[in-house]
Every structure is written in C-alpha cells, then in structure tokens.
Amino acid sequence: RSKQSGRGQFSYFAAEMNDKIMLQRKMTEDMRHSLTAGHFFLEYQPRFDTRARQMRSVEALVRWAHPERGRIPPCDFIPLAEQNGLIVPLGDWILDTACEAAANWSGIGVSVNVSPVQFRDTKFVDKVRDCLRRSGLKGELLELEITEGVLLEDAERAIEVLNELKAMGVKLAMDDFGTGYSSLSYLRNFPFDVIKIDRSFISDLGTRESARPIVQAILGLGRALGLSVTAEGVETNEQLALLTADHCSEIQGFLMSRPLSQAKISELIEKVPEITGEALLQTA
Ligand code: C2E
Ligand code: MG
Ligand code: MG
Ligand code: MG
C-alpha cells in the first residue's frame, strides 16, 4: 500500500515537473514572439536629488504585456530570460530604447539594469558604445545598474569591462547594496560611482530600530569613498525625512513617483523644467 502511494506520489511530482517544463517552454516561445511583436515596453521611475528635490535621472524598468496573461512583472520573467538566453536580445533592446528616449530628455540621465548574463556577452561593451553613438546620448547620462552576480565569476574580466565602460563616461551603480555576500569587498575592488541601498533597508526605516544605523553606515561609507548614494523604495514621509537628515544624495520611490511611461516623462520634462518631488507627486 505504501509502495503504491509512494509511486502515486512520484508520478504526481513527475507530472508537476513536466507541467513546469512545458510552461517554461511555452513562456520561452511567447517571449521570443513578444520580442519581435513589440509586447515588451519600458517604464521609467524618476530619481531625485534629495536636497534640491529635483528629478535628475530615471531608471528604466522593463514590462511584458503578455497577449494572453496580461502584464507580467520582471521578477516573473527575467530569471527565465536569463535561463533561456533571451535576456541578451531583450537587454539589447532595453539599452537601445532607453538611450534613444534619454537622448531627447535634455540633461535627464537614464539608468539601465544589466543582467550578469548580458555582462558575460563579449560584445557588451561594443553594444553600449554603439547605443551611445546611434542615439547621440552622452556617456555621462547613461548609468548601468549592476548586482554582485556580475562580479562573482571572473573578477579580472569584470574590472576590465567596467573600466572600458567608464572610459566612455558611463556611470556604474551597485544595485541592491547590502543584500549580497561581500558587498564591501566589491566596493574596494570595482570602480563604482553610485551605491543603491536596497529597498529592504529603506522599508525598515521608521519601523525597525536597527535600520537607521545601518543606513547611516552605508551613507558614511559612500561619503568616505566619494560615491553617491541612492535610497530605493522610499514610500513614507518619515523615511524621506530620515534620509534627508542623514544626507542621502538621491532618492527613488513610490512616495515621489511610480514608474511612468516614456510619454509621461517627456511631458513632465517639457512642462516643468524644474520638477520637485512634491510637484511630480501632484501631477503623477
Ligand atoms: P531593481 O533594479 O532593484 O528595481 C527597483 C524595483 O523596485 C522596481 O520593481 C521598482 O518598480 C520597485 N520600486 C521602486 N520604488 C518602490 C517603492 O517605493 N516601493 C516598492 N514596493 N517598490 C518600489 P520592478 O520594476 O518590478 O523590477 C524588479 C526587478 O526586476 C528590478 O529590481 C531588477 O532587478 C529587475 N528588472 C527590472 N527591469 C529590468 C531590466 O530592464 N533589465 C534587467 N536585467 N532587470 C530588470
Ligand atoms: Mg535597479
Ligand atoms: Mg535595486
Ligand atoms: Mg531591488
């Protein structure tokens, strides 16, 4: 009897596994189709200078408008795209689209998330150079957001690539800072310009007592190393007040603005050349 139920159990898992593989295959096909059909699009979340309360740049965030399933968030398809390799053509398209958009935003920079898989692409540096040339965007207005995954494999090659990017004027941000295994040694070894404090630390600000000293320590580290620090995921006025008091350079979060369409960003830039967080909050 137990044997039977054991086998039943097994075939249940086998069936479930099979479903999972089938679904991934289907999603991969859909992804390939959506890439050519134009079902991916970008939103841009403003990032503000904390003191001046002005928008300085935006972060490009990819979205998938799946024809049958509706909108799928990036956390549900980026890992699959990394597995099936489609992150490379998708990432190329993201970089191109973001640079093209920012080239029309006189002075507002754009930040693009780069997957470790894209970073491994031997043509990556050339692709960035081509994007800048095609769009006419100044390198200084492009920032690449990198997580520690990029730096884990071949550190020497990573440093080479990062230095080539920096030679074009491109800025480098360490995304999700504080969540990795050895963030500190990365700061020592790699030429970053910006630290982005992970949202988990910011959401604890004002609710967990340990959060503020941790954020303050990261801010102190940034100051000592001459790096700009951005807080992501700012949702409350209390968090904003604490980050302002502690001299965090830049802030990003739903309190100031959710990610917006390219048209909306262009409109904001044209209408109000000097956008304050408060003003954007009212118009968004
Ligand atoms: P990330 O790069 O750390 O991006 C920040 C995420 O936090 C975005 O989620 C953004 O919408 C969200 N966020 C910003 N402010 C707030 C806030 O105040 N509260 C809350 N709850 N969330 C906030 P999103 O767009 O869902 O992206 C999630 C992750 O997916 C990104 O994390 C990034 O790792 C990845 N991703 C998004 N777009 C791209 C892309 O174009 N390429 C690659 N390779 N990865 C991407
Ligand atoms: Mg990011
Ligand atoms: Mg982040
Ligand atoms: Mg994050």
State in Å: Cα 90 to ligand 3 middle: 19
Ligand 1 lined by 250 (C-beta under 6 Å): no
pLDDT tier, 169 (very low <50, low <70, confident <90, very high otherwise): very high
**Segment 239-280, tens digit of pLDDT:** 999 999 999 999 999 999 999 999 999 998 888 656 665 556
Task: Using the mean position of ligand 1's atoms as its centre, give its distance from the Cα of residue 74 in Å.
Answer: 8
Residue 7 burial (10 A CB sphere; 0-12, 13-18, 19+): exposed
In this structure, are residues 121 and 87 in contact, taking their beta carbons and an 8 Å threshold?
Answer: no
List the residue whose alpha carbon is closest to atom 25 of ligand 1. 61
**Is pLDDT larger for residue 86 or for residue 147?**
86
Provide the percentage of residues in the chain whose pLDDT is more than 90: 76
The predicted structure's pLDDT at residue 139: 98
Instruction: Collect residues with CB below 5 Å from ion ligand 2.
Output: 113, 145, 175
- Does the CB atom of residue 45 touch ligand 1 within 6 A? yes
Task: For residues 197 and 176, give the distance between their C-alpha atoms in angstroms, rounded to a whole number.
Answer: 6
Judged against a pLDDT cut of 60, whether residue 4 lies above it is answered with no
Residue 103 has pLDDT above 70, yes or no: yes
pLDDT band at 2 (very low <50, low <70, confident <90, very high): very low
CA of 175 to the centre of ligand 1 (A): 10
Ligand 1 neighbourhood includes 92 CB (under 6 angstroms): no
Q: Which residues of 186-214 are buried (b: 16+ CB within 10 A; e: fewer)?
A: bbeebebebbbbbbebbbbbbeeeebbee
pTM of the model: 0.93
pLDDT of residue 1: 45
What sign for the dihedral angle of Cα 278, 279, 282, 284?
negative
CA gap 209, 205 in Å, rounded = 8
Least confident of 64-73, 149-158, 159-168: 149-158
Residue that has been written with the tokens 């134009």 in this structure: 38
Instruction: State residue 29 phi and psi, 5-degree precision.
Output: -60, -45
Supply the mean pLDDT for the chain: 91
Residue 282 has pLDDT above 60, yes or no: no
Tens digits of residue pLDDT in 186-202:
888 899 999 999 999 99
pLDDT at 179: 86
* Positive/negative CA dihedral, 143, 148, 150, 156: positive
Q: Are 234 and 205 in contact (CB under 8 A)?
A: no
Ligand 1 test: best mutation among 31, 44, 78, most atoms within 8 Å of CB?
78
Structure confidence at residue 188 (pLDDT): 83
Q: What's the pLDDT score for residue 240?
A: 96
Q: Identify the pLDDT of residue 264.
A: 95
Ligand 1 pocket residue status of 259, Cβ below 6 Å: yes
Q: Which residues contact 264 (CB under 8 A, 6 or more apart)?
A: 284
Mean pLDDT of 144-159: 87
In this structure, which residue's CA is closest to atom 46 in ligand 1? 113
Q: Is 233 in the pocket of ligand 1 (CB under 6 A)?
A: yes
Q: Using a 6 Å cutoff on CB, does residue 235 contact ligand 1?
A: yes
Q: How many Å apart are CA 66 and CA 96, to the nearest integer?
A: 21
Report d(CA 95, CA 127) in Å as an integer. Answer: 9
More confident residue, 261 or 179: 261
Whose C-alpha lies nearest to ligand 1, atom 42?
Answer: 113
233 CA to centre of ligand 4 in angstroms: 8
Residue 271's pLDDT is 80
Q: Does 175 sit in the ligand 1 pocket, CB within 6 Å?
A: yes
CB 113 near ligand 1, within 6 Å: yes
228 lines ligand 1 (CB under 6 A): no
Q: Which ligand is nearest to the CA of 233?
A: 1
Nearest CA to ligand 1 atom 27: 74
